[in-house]
């Protein structure tokens, strides 16, 4: 008989935590959690206390035997953990707002995980995740790390490549939304379809088959992107702009919503700049939304996840994290789309890099389903973006200004030359508090 499970959530004061708790409650018969530790930092203490109290109410209302602990002491929480989930944001939402608004001020895409802003999120996040891994090596060397801190693919690769920690799986909610969208178009239940995803986080493509092996990809392309179709709305935080039907039809694969930034850069930039003038950056919108969510969470009678959380932009993340843990714990072999080591599943990117791909989740981790080679249209963009990721991760670890500039120069959403250097310098100065690896060298 397996003992109860100890789970530690770093970034426990997140507005997503109620969905995580809900996911654990509904799987309690399969996944008997004896301890759930919610960890945050001093700056997140108030949110941790609010959401932690709500988590305790949810557990009590469900009538399950699980202790919820709240702490600012990461090391105390990690001791003997079985699973560690990470959902933190270095610099809080104010850092996201800088990531978005500084590029927009220079007339370039300002987005949380793409372009200059996404690279800076990686620069801040990767040193912290590597510190968590060092603590895990000492305090819970057999634990699994389930990461849904963005940029999830780069964070996962950093853990594999620089943290030398094999027991890690990265997670994103975008494939879940894509699966639901295709199921609606085809009017078939998700379980009657097979989805073959491949690429990297926020830059994957996928194909769809039915139980008989018949490919349905082109039907879904027509249903979502033909001139008379309603465009998909997979994620809350991306403008529902129509792809060029002829271009997507030529791909013979479905793009993810974030491809709009690469396939329709000028239109997306124009929309972002207009929104920036009227309602502010997406981070400012989310900040207002979070404030209203935490007002709800304060209600001493609220003991379930409120519907309003679905507007936050990360719906299904937490529930998917629960299912990964459940599948590892019970060796279930669930098919999921995750970030994991390539191991040759995609021919077009390095063997040891992290990719986002349909995988089988078992007790030993994620087994990616072999994809093979991409056609030129997908391969060209994928290889540029993977090289950019490798440079970004290296810069985050080493604090090399030159490597950071090289990554900026390679990113399709950042103009090269003087603008790249100006935006890099402004973002470095704006985030100085959270980027010590760069500033020892800059000041020297």
Q: Which residues contact 307 (CB under 8 A, 6 or more apart)?
A: none
Q: How many CB atoms lie within 10 A of CB 347?
A: 13
- Verify whether residue 351 is a known catalytic residue: no
- Hey, CA dihedral for 9, 54, 121, 415, is it positive or negative? positive
Question: Residue 151, preceding bond cis, omega within 30 degrees?
Answer: yes
- The C-alpha angle with vertex 162 and arms to 159 and 167, in degrees rounded to 5, equals 35
Reading the block at residue 41, the tokens are 């930092």
**Can you give the chain as a three-state secondary structure string?**
CCCCEEEEEECCCCCCHHHHHHHHHHCCCCCCEEEEEEECCHHHHHHHHHHHHHHHHHHHHHCCCCEEEEECCHHHHHCCCCEEEECCCCCHHHHHHHHHHHHHHCCCCCCCCCHHHHHHHHHHHHHHHHHHHHHHHHHCCCCEEEECCCCHHHHHHHHHHCCCCCCEEECCCHHHHHHHHHHHHHCCCHHHEEEEEEEECCEEEEEEEECCCCECHHHHHHHHHCCCCCCCCCCCCCCCCCCCHHHHHHHCCEECHHHHHHHCHHHHHHHHHHHHHHCCCHHHHHHHHHHHHHHHHCCCCCCCCCHHHHHHCCCCHHHHHHHHHHHHHCCCCEEEEEEEECCCCECCCCCCCEEEEEEEEECCEEEECCCECCCHHHHHHHHHHHHHHHHHHHHHHHCCHHHHHHHHHHCCCCCCCHHHHHHHHHHHHHCHHHCHHHHHHHHC
CA distance 63 to 100: 43
| Both structure tokens of 375 | 């056609």
Burial of residue 43 (CB within 10 Å: 0-12, 13-18, 19+) is exposed
Active-site hit among 258, 261, 262, 317? 258
Catalytic residues: 258
């Amino acid at each position: 008989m397996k003992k109860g499970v100890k789970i530690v959530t770093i970034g426990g004061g997140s507005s997503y935590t109620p969905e995580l708790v809900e996911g654990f409650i509904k799987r309690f018969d399969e996944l008997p959690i004896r301890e759930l530790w919610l960890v945050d930092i001093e700056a997140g203490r108030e949110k941790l206390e609010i959401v932690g109290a709500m988590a305790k109410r949810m557990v009590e209302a469900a009538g399950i035997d699980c202790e919820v602990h709240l702490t600012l002491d990461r090391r105390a929480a990690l001791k003997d953990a079985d699973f560690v989930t990470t959902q933190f944001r270095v610099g809080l939402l104010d850092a996201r707002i800088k990531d978005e608004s500084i590029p927009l001020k220079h007339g370039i895409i300002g987005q949380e995980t793409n372009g200059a802003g996404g690279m800076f999120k990686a620069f801040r996040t990767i040193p912290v995740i590597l510190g968590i891994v060092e603590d895990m090596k000492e305090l819970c060397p057999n634990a699994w790390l389930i990461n849904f801190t963005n940029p999830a693919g780069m964070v996962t690769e950093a853990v594999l490549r620089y943290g030398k920690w094999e027991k890690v799986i990265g997670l994103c909610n975008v494939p879940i939304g894509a699966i639901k969208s295709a199921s609606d178009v085809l009017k078939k239940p998700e379980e009657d379809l097979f989805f073959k995803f491949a690429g990297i986080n926020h830059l994957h493509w996928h194909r769809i088959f039915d139980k008989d092996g018949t490919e349905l990809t082109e039907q879904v392309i027509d249903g979502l992107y033909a001139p008379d179709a309603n465009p998909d709305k997979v994620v809350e935080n991306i403008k529902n702009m129509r792809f060029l039907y002829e271009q997507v039809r030529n791909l013979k694969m479905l793009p993810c919503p974030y491809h709009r930034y690469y396939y329709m850069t000028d239109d997306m930039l124009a929309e972002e700049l207009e929104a920036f003038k009227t309602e502010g950056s997406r981070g400012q919108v989310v900040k207002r939304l979070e404030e209203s969510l935490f007002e709800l969470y304060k209600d001493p009678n609220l003991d379930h996840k409120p519907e309003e959380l679905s507007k936050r932009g990360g719906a299904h993340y937490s529930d998917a994290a629960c299912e990964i843990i459940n599948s590892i714990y019970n060796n279930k072999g669930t098919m999921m789309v995750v970030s994991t080591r390539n191991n040759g599943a995609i021919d077009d990117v390095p063997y040891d890099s992290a990719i986002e791909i349909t995988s089988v989740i078992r007790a030993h981790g994620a087994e990616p389903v072999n994809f093979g080679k991409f056609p030129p249209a997908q391969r060209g963009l994928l290889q540029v973006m993977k090289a950019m990721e490798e440079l970004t991760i290296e810069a985050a670890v080493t604090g090399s200004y030159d490597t950071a500039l090289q990554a900026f120069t390679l990113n399709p959403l950042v103009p090269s030359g003087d603008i790249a250097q100006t935006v890099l310098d402004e973002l470095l100065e704006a985030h100085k508090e959270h980027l010590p690896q760069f500033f020892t060298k800059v000041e020297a």
